[in-house]
Every structure is written in structure tokens, then in C-alpha cells.
Amino acid sequence: MSVIESIAVLQDEMTRWRRDIHAHPELGFEETRTSDIVAEKLRAFGLEVHRGIGKTGVVGVLRAGSGTRSIGLRADMDALPILEANTFEHRSSHDGVMHACGHDGHTTMLLGAARHLAKTRNFSGTVNLVFQPAEEAGMNGGAERMIADGLFERFPCDAIFGMHNSPGYPAGTFMFNSGPSMSASDTVNIKIHGRGGHASRPHLTVDPILIAGSLVMALQSVVSRNVDPRQAAVVTIGTLHAGTVRNVIPAHAEMSLSVRSFDNEVRDRLQERITALVTGHVQGYGGSVELEYIRGYPVLVNSPAETEFARQVAEDLVGEERTVFPFGTVTGSEDFAYFLEHRPGSFVRIGNGDTAMVHSAAYDFNDANLTVGAAYWARLVETYLA
């Protein structure tokens, strides 16, 4: 019996687990119910369970044979502050919070793999199953907290792997990319100080709305005129707030930016140019500025050898036609990048079918992936710790 056939008998049970987690979403570092479920199931399967790593994180440890090698597999558990638009029976029971990124499915696939591995123990070595909180934080997230709590010292891993679903690609298809694969994510908060006054006497003011409007256009030159065209980068103005009434020129305007890059030199260059441009631009109009530049998640860099290994496992499991390499870069960001700064490994993608995009109020994880995703994790462990 193949690993897919073996795990397929759990499909209905895994679907119930996944939909229960979906119906009870929890935000980052608040995943108490979810981590309770994870810990309870891991113990029932016969794993050694450790809790409170990264506040609400859980690590399950499974050993078999006499092998000295070890592998880590990671799933994220947190939800997003989004009001769910779906009306199916397992929709979120918590208004304003939903699993809009598929972490309920990621957690369930890893639980399914844990059950299979604990039953068969067809490997020799140590498996560390990492159930991580607060991936969606954007900064100071669960990966950093788990590492700070001694994750890799307490649970050594020769390599670590993660998986994320991708809507728009066929369910059960695995995608891989080597090297820089997901962008660094930085945030810039800008407060422009002008001089307010009456709308009919603009010559007596320093208009922060005029400055902000001009700055919106000026910032579009940062990538096009400061970054090598062969490199990828994104500067997006996400918020712009100023004023409350039509006949008053306000004293302040506030903006926030999202900055993405795939190279550390480009990342440094973006910070340098944005800081200089914003400061000089505002001062040129007679205003002053407060600028806060916050470094978020780093570039996610997949190790070539581990990525090729992970790709080969997928090809052996589902065939060449359902294995995509190279998949290319993704401008989203992931705190799995911190794990890859400490250990070699790879971040794998699995197609979610023709579903709504992640972070959408209409999104739902595709349950058809539960069996094949769990089987992939199990086969990865069995091959790595053969």
C-alpha cells in the first residue's frame, strides 16, 4: 500500500479536524484552543509533546530506529483579523477572525503525517514537528519567538521544511523554487508636519496634503530609478490620511508604505533612498517629517540541495506532471525565512485549486489536499531518514 493510500483512510477524519479548526480561528499568540487540539492529538498518537515554545507554539517529537539524523517540519496555526464572507457550515464562529490563509489546512496536514509516522515508524532518526504561532504578525512573529526560546537547541534539525497552499494552481500539485523565493517585507511610517490654516488662505500655510500628494508620485521613482531592472522590488503606499473637513488645511498628514525586496543590498538601498527622498522632499516644501523605517521578515532563501531533495520526493509521490520547478519568486513574505537563516531547508508550495485568493474573506482551504499533503510530509521524512 502506498503512503497516499495509507493516509487516504484518514481523509474524512482529517476533514473534520480541519473544519473544526476553521470554525474556531485564533489570532497570533492567542492560539490556545488550536494548540490544545494539536498537543492532545500528538500525545494520543504517541509523540513526545512540548508546549509554550514561542508562547503558544507546540513541538511534537517522534523517534524511531538508531539513526542520528533529524528533520523538522513546520505548520503555522494562526488566523487573520478578517470577517468571513463564506456561509458554509464550518464558517468562522468568531466575527472578525477567520482562517483566510489556510493555516487550518497546514496544521491538519502535519497532524495527519504525525499519525501515519507514529503508526508506521518507517524511518530511522528523529522528527520534530513544529506547530508555529503568529506567522501573520509581519514582524516579531512566531518563528522569531520560537527560535529565541531555543527551538533548534532543544530540538536539533539537520534540515527544516515548510509548506503553504497556493490558490490558482491545481490541488495536489507541488511547486518548488531554489534560492531567494519570497520577499523581505519592510514597513515605513511617515508623518508630515506642515502648518494648518484656512482653506481660503493657503499662502499662510504649509499644506501637508500637497506635500503628501507630491510624495506619492515621487516615491514611484524609487524602484524605477534606484534598483537594477534585473532585480525585483516593490514600494506600495498603503495608507494616506489627512484632514477632517473641506475648508481647513490640516497641520499633519500620515502615510504608510510596504516595501518588498529579494536581495539584501537592494533592501539596504531602498531604505537609504526612501529615507533621503522623503526627508528632502518634505523639507523642500517647507515642512518637517517623522519617519519610522521598520525591518520585517527577511528574504526567504531556499537551500538548493534541500529544495532538489524535496522536489524529487514530490515527483516520486505524485509524478512529474504534478511537480513544478522552478516555480519562481513570490512577492509575499513569510517568517519561515528565519528558520532558513538558522538551518538549511526549503519552503514548498501546494496548489489549492480554483479557490479565492489567500487573505480574502471568501477563501477556504481545499480539503482535497489533506491526504496528499500529509502523504508528502510522511514520504519526505521516510526518505530523509531512510
pLDDT per residue over 199-248, tens digit each? 999 999 999 999 999 999 999 999 999 999 999 999 999 999 999 999 99
- Residue ranges of domains in the chain, CATH in brackets: 3-182+299-384 (3.40.630.10), 184-295 (3.30.70.360)
At 299 the pLDDT is: 97
At 60 the pLDDT is: 98
Beta bridge partners of 164: 349
Average pLDDT of the chain to the nearest whole number = 97
Grid cell for residue 104 = 487550518
Alpha-carbon span 296 to 140, nearest angstrom: 8
Closest residue by Cα to residue 105 from 159, 200, 34, 195:
34
Alpha-carbon span 284 to 280, nearest angstrom: 6
Q: Parallel, antiparallel, or unpaired: how do β-strands 159-166 and 70-76 relate?
A: parallel
At 9 the pLDDT is: 97
Using an 8 Å Cβ cutoff, are 202 and 194 in contact?
Answer: no
Across the beta sheet with 125-132, the strand order is: 48-53, 57-64, 125-132, 70-76, 159-166, 345-351, 174-175, 323-324
For residue 138, pLDDT over 90 is answered with no
For residue 38, pLDDT over 90 is answered with yes
Mean of the pLDDT values across residues 69-95? Answer: 98
pLDDT cut 70: percent of the chain above it: 100
Burial (CB count <10 Å: 0-12, 13-18, 19+), residue 252: middle
For residue 329, pLDDT over 90 is answered with yes
Using an 8 Å Cβ cutoff, are 178 and 307 in contact?
Answer: yes
At 1 the pLDDT is: 74
Grid cell for residue 208 = 501637508
Closest residue by Cα to residue 219 from 211, 207, 208, 228:
211
Q: Residue 155 carries which side chain, given as an amino acid letter?
A: F
Grid cell for residue 261 = 525586496
Across the beta sheet with 252-261, the strand order is: 233-242, 252-261, 184-193, 288-295
For residue 33, pLDDT over 90 is answered with yes
Q: What are phi and psi for residue 347, nearest 5 degrees?
A: -105, 115
What b/e sequence results for 56-79 when a residue is b if at least 16 CB atoms lie within 10 Å of its CB, and e otherwise? bbbbbbbbbeeeeebbbbbbbbbb
Q: Looking up cell 508562547, which residue turns up? A: 55
pLDDT in tens, 157-171: 999 999 999 999 999
pLDDT in tens, 267-301: 999 999 999 999 999 999 999 999 999 999 999 99
Alpha-carbon span 359 to 361, nearest angstrom: 7
pLDDT cut 90: percent of the chain above it: 99
